[in-house]
Amino acid sequence: MAKFVKRCPECNSINLSIDEKKGEVICKSCGLVLDESLVDFGPEWRGFKEDEGKQRAGAPSTFTKADMGTGTKIGSKSEIYKLSGSQRRRFMRMRRWHNRSSTSLERNLKYALVELKKVASILNIPPSIEEEAARIYNLAVRKSLVRGRSMESVVVGAVYIASRRFNLPRSLNEICKKTGISKRDVGKTYRFIARQLGIKLLPSGPADFIPKFANKLNFSSATQTKAVEILKNAKEFELTSGRGPIGLAAAALYVASLMTGEKRTQREIADVVGVTEVTIRNRYKEMIEKLGLKEDLEKAKSEVEDNDKK
């Protein structure tokens, strides 16, 4: 179209102008109309209702809605008062037929996605993970993987799978504790769904939990960096294999806090992280012995005491 027109064929001028309202390309030198049927590919700035913004299309499709956000809706209850008696009865009858025409799959999704939104609010997960959890639940329903299992456990299992896929540090213990769902049921359900849908879940590393726990304990960035460095060294010495990532993250933060002078007690860290003091103590001893951190801790301790005296 106009962007391919370089010169005016009449006067060989390059002084061309585009009239967007009329859809014309005009030569300013001789007034020749080079094109009069331009197509505007920009947004269609018009609205059909007073409360709607000026936009070309509606909201994008999403798995967080039972109809993917593309379904129809017959009016709202607030509009019934604007109708006469006969029209009002007709309106209510149409709404009733519309609700009854939904399939069992749509009804299941409708109730489950409400539960999913509640779980997402409790866990404070981002919209991208909520969308992925809704997609996983949708696939599970369509493949009849929900049958024989409680809707709540499947929803929480889908949220846990989505969190793992997006590397969001949420442990199964934490999710089940906040939602009040049995850990045993959720564990069996999420493993079954992941296996049937062919979803491969990589285990969460202890370093993934460092930012989350450090923020809760008000540690500085220096302590976080030191904890990640300790975990990196621990992995090289094979201290992380066969041990829970949360306990390792807690122990690394405890050691790092001693080195940076931001000391927290094992009890304080255990309460925030959700493990026992015994776990932190055992992981702490292993790190001190295997990584040779005794001298570093003593040096850091003496520096802190010197600073306190000054």
Domain boundaries, the chain: 2-35, 105-196, 206-309
Which superfamily, per CATH, for 105-196? Cyclin-like (1.10.472.10)
Q: What is the pLDDT of residues 244-265, one digit of tens each?
A: 889 999 999 999 998 888 888 8
195 contacts: CB under 8 Å, gap ≥ 6: none
Q: What are 157's two structure tokens?
A: 């299992």
Q: What is the pLDDT of residues 3-26, one digit of tens each?
A: 445 688 888 888 888 887 788 888
pLDDT reported for residue 51:
52
When mean pLDDT is compared over 69-73, 106-110, 132-136, 207-211, the highest value belongs to 132-136
The dotted CATH code for 206-309 is: 1.10.472.10
The correct answer on CATH 3.40.50.300 for the domain covering 2-35 is no
With both helix axes pointing from N to C terminus, report the angle between 277-291 and 221-236 in degrees, rounded to the nearest 10.
Answer: 70
Are 133 and 158 in contact by the 8 Å Cβ rule? The answer is yes
Distance in angstroms (rounded) separating the CA atoms of residues 179 and 153: 10
Give the pLDDT mean for 44-51. Answer: 55
Q: What are 204's two structure tokens?
A: 């969460």
Taking the CA atoms of residue 116, residue 120, residue 123 and residue 124 in that order, the dihedral angle to the nearest 10 degrees is 180
Asked if domains 105-196 and 206-309 share a fold, the reply is yes
Helix extents (H) in the chain: 85-100, 104-123, 127-142, 151-165, 172-179, 183-196, 210-216, 221-236, 245-260, 266-273, 277-291, 294-309
3-state secondary structure of 34: strand
Quick check: 80 pLDDT over 90?
Answer: no
Cα distances (angstroms) measured from residue 192 to each of 131, 136, 199: 20, 12, 10
pLDDT reported for residue 229:
92
Lowest-pLDDT range of 40-44, 217-221, 232-236: 40-44
Nearest by Cα to 63 from 127, 151, 144 = 127
Whole-number mean pLDDT of the chain?
A: 84
The larger pLDDT score, comparing residue 54 to residue 211, is at: 211
